[in-house]
Amino acid sequence: MNQLDQLKSLTTVVADTGNFLQLAQFAPRDATTNPSLILKAVQSADYAPLLTDTVAAHQGLALDEIVDRVLVRFGLEILKVVPGRVSTEVDARLSFDKAATLARARRIIGLYEAAGISRERVLIKIASTWEGIQAARELELEGIHCNLTLLFSFCQAVACGEAGIQLISPFVGRIYDWYKKSAGAAWDETAMSGANDPGVKSVAQIFNYYKKHAIKTEVMGASFRNVGQIQALAGCDLLTISPDLLAQLQQLASALPLALDAAAAKLLDLPEVSFDEAGFRFALNQDAMATEKLAEGIRLFAVDSAKLDQMIVS
């Protein structure tokens, strides 16, 4: 088997793309999207009609509702290809507004259900701010399952586990980017690869902690820069991977060993920890990488959301 097929025997493989025409060749179980991926898709000739048709069909609605209908339209097309779930993101500009996040999440689920899709097939993506995590806590109690994204720190993961979140997406590649940039000329790519990659280490820490303490939240490694990061996380609950890296894995024929082992994690000495709001905010503040990457991620998604808005109104 090629490494993609081997990976599927160890981990649930998810496609990280808005390009649903590419999905069939990789046969992922789930798919994830975000504002940047949707923006990129609608700028191509293959997908531009989805935007224009959806906007034309809903003239007169508020801009934010039209945006949600565009996102759901992509999600519906993706769900025709994947057998599992699609992740659809709440506007990143609401990352610090719990009430507005709740309202948008409920509307997105309502649009899917109106199209005949059960809520079990949808994950609402929300940034892993304190407000986002608390909004997701309420949504989970309503049977609206969430994918907490832009997750860079252990405290974010612990808070999500305590909130009963369905799934988290720790960002491997962006953590790697930060440490590589911070090290500058002192960075040793060989020494900091595989299990020593700082992004890989972050996901492994979260995975082991969750399994040790029987936390049901699913761990889905995300934001990969190379296949080595993916290989080093084989065995993680899920991995969401770009089409380019999925294609690279298909071309590799060497054996892919298990890297993360839930049974082994149960034997580790990992004390249980907890964060209230003050403790969470302080722990996040003490992690320069996580603080910077969370803020940067929200800003970048907000910029792309604004660009999508502009395409709709122009």
Q: Give the residue among 174, 173, 179, 199 at the shortest CA–CA distance from 294.
A: 174
Q: Hunting for tokens 């969370």 — which residue is that? A: 294
The rounded distance, in Å, linking the Cα atoms of 54 and 65 is 11
The rounded distance, in Å, linking the Cα atoms of 278 and 77 is 41
Q: 153: part of which helix (H) or strand (E)? A: none
The rounded distance, in Å, linking the Cα atoms of 264 and 267 is 6
DSSP state of 90: P
Q: End-to-end distance of the chain based on CA atoms, in angstroms?
A: 49
212: annotated active-site residue: no
CA 172 to chain CA mean position, Å: 11
CA 292 to chain CA mean position, Å: 18
Active-site residue identified among 98, 125, 211, 212: 125
Q: Hunting for tokens 């048709």 — which residue is that? A: 53
Active-site residues: which are they?
125
